[in-house]
Structure 1
């Protein structure tokens, strides 16, 4: 990894590139593409007038090209009675994997958790994503088997 590659907080001018990465991430996970207007919705969550509900970090190559992102938000654990930082997404383009950017994104998220006074970081990954599972295992993370469900609020 070059000393010019960087992980930093996303800026408003990054939103179009972040949405492109999100679309690539969705395709990688065989999910539906993002709905139109995502850049504006994310900008509101990240850069609105109040305390941001969402945080986003980006990974850039020496030429400034964004090649990855990670998002996180504080959540609550009922069982523990404490808050934690939930990492919703971590994605790197195929060409940028193995450059050391993944650990830098995780470090940025961990630093954010510490800055917020949160004792733990939690996330999930698809069971078929063996590369991600190996990466998280190398970090020393532990896993819990659960299945994630979604349910629309409108009937």
Structure 2
């Protein structure tokens, strides 16, 4: 898979990105994404207010998309700075261990640099030992926190 590369997602990639997101949700034992995820992603990536979200895809030499990373600028109150929040990083099981993860992370870091941001932040489930080992090998640091969500209606 050494000839694989990472690029920004294109509109024609969104059905596959939605499939990968569904695999990712299943892997993390989360609820599946909505059935119209590709349509929603299209608005965020390519709509009038775009890009609110950035999506990078790992493409294999046969043009198969083997994974994706999504990210968006966020704010930190404590440091009064912006950072790039990597919301998702996922590779198919077959594609792990072939150097695609570091390629995706490098592309996310490049995205942060292009936006003038100096840090990337993300989270992973505490049980995801493989991801934790991967992030540790990259030199990333972690903080223990729980993520909460609350519906507004």
For the aligned pair, the TM-score class normalised by the smaller chain equals: over 0.9
Question: How far apart, in 1, do the equivalents of 2:78 and 2:50 lie?
Answer: 26
C-alpha RMSD of the superposition: 0.8
Post-superposition CA distance 1:60-111 (Å, at most 9, x none): 1111111100000000000000000000000000000011000000000000
Q: Which runs of 4+ in 1 moved over 2 A?
A: none
State the partner residue of 2:63.
64
SS in 2 for 1:64: coil
Question: How far apart, in 2, do the equivalents of 1:51 and 1:43 lie?
Answer: 9
Question: How far apart, in 2, do the equivalents of 1:36 and 1:65 lie?
Answer: 22
Q: How does 1:1-16 map to 2 (within 5 A)?
A: 1-3=1-3, 5-16=4-15
Q: How does 1:78-89 map to 2 (within 5 A)?
A: 78-89=77-88
State the partner residue of 1:17.
16
State the partner residue of 1:91.
90
Q: CA deviation at 1:51?
A: 4.0
The two structures have a TM-score, normalised by structure 2, of 0.98
Q: CA deviation at 1:29?
A: 0.3
State the partner residue of 2:132.
133
SS in 2 for 1:153: coil
State the partner residue of 1:75.
74
Question: How far apart, in 2, do the equivalents of 1:60 and 1:99 lie?
Answer: 13
Question: How far apart, in 1, do the equivalents of 2:62 and 2:75 lie?
Answer: 39
State the partner residue of 1:48.
47
SS in 2 for 1:53: coil
Name stretches of at least 5 consecutive residues in structure 1 with no aligned partner.
none
SS in 2 for 1:40: helix
SS in 1 for 2:66: strand
Question: How far apart, in 1, do the equivalents of 2:126 and 2:40 lie?
Answer: 29
Q: Count residues in correspondence.
A: 153
The two structures have a TM-score, normalised by structure 1, of 0.97
